Each structure stands twice: as C-alpha cells, then as structure tokens.
Structure 1
Amino acid sequence: MHRSPTNVLFVSRENAFRSLLAEACLRHLGQGKFKVYSCGMPALVGNAPSPWTYLALQTAGIPGEGLRPEWTL
C-alpha cells in the first residue's frame, strides 16, 4: 500500500533558526516520508536565516539550500 507523505509544519517566532533547522533535518532524515514546511510571525519574517542555521546544518552534513524565513499557511 502506498502512503502519501505526512505534512509537517514547524512554527517559531521568527522562522530564522529553530524551525528552519527542524525543517531541513526532517526533510533530509525523513527520506521523502514527509512534506515539511516552516513558518514564523508575518511581522518578523523577511530577514535572512541565522548564520548558525547554516553552520549547524553543514556540521551535520544536511543540505540547507533554499531555506528562507517565511509566513506560510
């Protein structure tokens, strides 16, 4: 039986570190089993992701291309 990927949304205030990190990790480790999204509060979105996000992902060997803070619903 084929199952559709489970949708997962990570939410944090600025969507600049924790939720982006969680999104990238689950997307990488979930191997296609999940459709992963992240978002933050609209007034705080628009800044670049924290440099710590990319450093943490690079250290773990997880791709971080295309990550950006956004308001998604």
Structure 2
Amino acid sequence: MDQKTYNVLFICTGNSARSILAEALMNQLGDGRFRAFSAGSHPKGEVHPLTLKTLAAQRLPVDGYRSKSWEEFARLGSPELHFVFTVCDQAAGEVCPVWPGQPITAHWGMPDPAAAPEAQREQAFVDTFVTMKRRIQLMLALPLASLDRVALKTRVTDIGKN
C-alpha cells in the first residue's frame, strides 16, 4: 500500500475563495495521504467571508486560512509539491513560478463565486464547494502508485473537465 504523503497546491488569482475551499476539502478528504495548500498570484490579503461560512456549514475547520502569494511555495525550503492545480481561468493563463521538483500540474477552473450576483452569491459558494469536492474525490480514487507520470497527468487533467 502506498503510504506517501502528497503535497498539493491550489492556485487562484486572489486566494480568497476557490483555492481556500479546495485546500480545506483536500486536507479533510485526503485523510493524511494528502497535504493541501493554497495561494494566489495576486492575493487579496483576506479570505472571503462566504468561504468561511461555506466551510462552517459543511462542518469543516475554518481556522488558519489566509490569503497568500504563490511565491511562498516557490522558495527554497518550501514543501516539495507533487501536484499544482489552477482553479481559476485567470491564474491558468499567468506565468507561474518554476516549482521545485516538477510537480504534475492541471487546470481545474471554475467560475469565481465571489463574482456572482449578490442574490446568488451564497449558492455560488455552495456550488463551487460541491464541484471541488467531486473533483477531489475523483482524484483520491486514482491508483496513484500504479500510474506513470503521463497517465497521472492525463487523469488529473481530465478531472478538471468534469
């Protein structure tokens, strides 16, 4: 059985909603096999209040999250990353730092729930949470130890299309 712990970084432009939801979900569902982080190319400096409200409603921890730059994970001494996922279209088009260790990258884009009209915003956060949870569950079901790098890259890329 594969006992390796995989480090996963979720990137979004502002690191206040989608990437934070993904970090929380992967840490919860990954059950110690995965350690998730999140960051932004242009961090907003604070986590969106509806992100924390959504996590609390799903009975996930809400403490310790902060909006931070992806540069924290490209520095010497940062955790070795095995996977890096962009979760917004803007970050996917930006030039990312060179990640030490050549992690597998994929785009799991989805609309920004914070940009939804105010009357639909809370539901947009819930919908984002549900979509991200499904994608993470699909990833967790992959036989990571038995897939070669090319097959694994293909599978995690395909997950982002669902």
Q: Which residue of 2 aligns with 1:66?
A: 64
Q: Which runs of 4+ in 1 moved over 6 A?
A: none
How many angstroms does 1:64 deviate by?
Answer: 1.8
Unaligned runs of 5+ in 1: none
Rounded to whole Å, the distance in 1 between the matches of 2:33 and 2:62 is 18
Q: Which residue of 2 aligns with 1:5?
A: 5
Q: Does residue 1:45 correspond to 2:50, yes or no?
A: no
How many residues are treated as equivalent by the alignment?
71
Q: Which residue of 2 aligns with 1:55?
A: 53
**Tell me, what secondary structure is at the counterpart of 2:27?**
helix
Q: Is contact 2:15–2:44 with CA below 8 Å preserved after alignment?
A: no
Over the aligned positions, Cα root-mean-square deviation in angstroms equals 1.4
Greater helix percent: which structure?
Answer: 2
How many angstroms does 1:4 deviate by?
Answer: 2.0
Q: Which residue of 1 aligns with 2:16?
A: 16
**Tell me, what secondary structure is at the counterpart of 1:10?**
strand
How many angstroms does 1:20 deviate by?
Answer: 0.5
| 1:7 alignment partner AA | N
How many angstroms does 1:19 deviate by?
Answer: 0.1
Rounded to whole Å, the distance in 2 between the matches of 1:58 and 1:51 is 11
Calculate the TM-score normalised by the size of structure 2: 0.41
Higher relative contact order, chain-length normalized (CA < 8 Å, sep 6+): 1
Percent of residue pairs bearing the same amino acid type: 34
Rounded to whole Å, the distance in 2 between the matches of 1:70 and 1:47 is 7
How many angstroms does 1:14 deviate by?
Answer: 0.4
CA deviation vs aligned residue, 1:24-73 (integer Å, no higher than 9, x gap) = 111011111101111101xx325210001101101100102100011132
**Tell me, what secondary structure is at the counterpart of 1:45?**
coil
